[in-house]
Amino acid sequence: MGTIYLAMNKVDSALIYTQKAYEMAIKTGINYWLTNTYLQFGSIHAAMRNSTLALSYWNLALNEANRINSPKFKSTAYSAIANYFYANNQKDSAKLYATKAISSVKNTDFYTLNVGPAKLLLNIYHDSNIDSAFKYSEIYRLASDSLFNVKTLQQAQLMSVEEEARQQEQKLEEDKFEEAQKENLQYTFIAVGIVSFFIIFLIFSRNYITNPKAIEFLSVIALLIVFEFINLLVHPILEKATHHSPFLMLVALVSIAALLIPFHHKLEHWAVNKLIEKNRETRLESAKRTVEKLESVRRQTNVDFWL
């Protein structure tokens, strides 16, 4: 927060939050980052034109960097002081601290930190010392190239991580979709089985006389369920084949329906005829049983009469 407010030139707010960071570091004993805190204090007081306090805090930052033996923090502190002296036209002091900044990261992994101090020294020697200017221009170029390579590598790694995360998320979504698809197929299959059972029961039951309208109604429900079952079954294939095109998906589903409807009519016609035949047989058997029962009653009546 202190860094953000300082970048917005709201130095009062920057000072408040940097002070909170300092107090937290002292209270918790986690003081590895005190170098950055002192550096920020120095930058805040430099912005407030408090030169003495700014240099004091930057020296504290140097002491902390030496205490934890951090080339990175040493270079950052030296660079801050060098930039301050350069801005105040104290070029000799600026050269001294910029040179120390470069030396502090020599033969380390923080070579890219030389971009700032090398650029500063190049500007100082540009018109006064060609050899020194060339020397620091080479350091600046190599550090810039290294920084570019590091940023390129970081960007490639970030893209790789993002792509891996995207693929994992996509796989998770696909797994969820497949699981839901399987569950829907199971429910639809159960529904098809139940409706088919009722139709078969009504057709082949020998004890019930059924209205053909019931078969027609159940056959329509069965058609809709079968269509939904086929839709669930082939939907993933259609998506890949049509590349998620709504128009092509609609054409494919209409084609499936066009194939199902004639088959449905034939099946319905067969079922109704079968039902009519079953009903007729059921009525005939019922009539025969009634006649036989009446005949039995008549015979029994005649016997009783003669007795």
Tokens describing residue 295: 């005949």
Does any domain span residue 133?
no
Does any domain span residue 193?
yes
C-alpha distances out from residue 284 to 90, 136, 263, 272, 294, Å: 122, 114, 31, 18, 15
**171-188: average pLDDT:** 75
The mean of the pLDDT values for the chain is: 76
User: Higher pLDDT residue, 94 or 297?
Assistant: 94
What band does 132 get if pLDDT is binned at 50, 70 and 90? confident
Residue 128: predicted pLDDT: 79
Poorest-pLDDT segment among 33-42, 108-117, 143-152: 143-152
**264-289: average pLDDT:** 65
Does any domain span residue 166?
no
Instruction: Kindly tell me the sign of the dihedral angle through the C-alpha atoms of 166, 169, 175, 176.
Output: negative
Residue 176: predicted pLDDT: 81
Report which of 60, 116, 35 is spatially closest to residue 99, judged by C-alpha positions. 116
Does any domain span residue 265?
yes
pLDDT at 168 over 70: yes
Poorest-pLDDT segment among 95-99, 165-169, 246-250, 294-298: 294-298
Tokens describing residue 120: 């500063």
Q: Which residue do the tokens 């660079």 mark? A: 79
Residue 182: predicted pLDDT: 76
Q: Which residue do the tokens 């001294």 mark? A: 96
Q: What are phi and psi of 236, to 5 degrees?
A: -60, -40
Do 121 and 103 meet the contact criterion of CB atoms below 8 Å apart? no
Q: Which residues contact 9 (CB under 8 A, 6 or more apart)?
A: 47
Does any domain span residue 192?
yes
Q: How many domains does the chain have?
A: 1
Does any domain span residue 240?
yes
Q: For the segment 239-262, what is each residue's pLDDT rounded down to a tens digit?
A: 777 776 777 777 777 777 777 677
Does any domain span residue 209?
yes
Q: For the segment 34-47, what is each residue's pLDDT rounded down to a tens digit?
A: 888 998 999 899 88
**14-29: average pLDDT:** 91
Instruction: Kindly tell me the sign of the dihedral angle through the C-alpha atoms of 124, 126, 128, 130.
Output: positive
The residue segments making up the domain with residue 273 are 174-282
Question: What angle (nearest 5°) sits at the alpha carbon of residue 248, between those of residues 246 and 249?
Answer: 60
Does any domain span residue 252?
yes
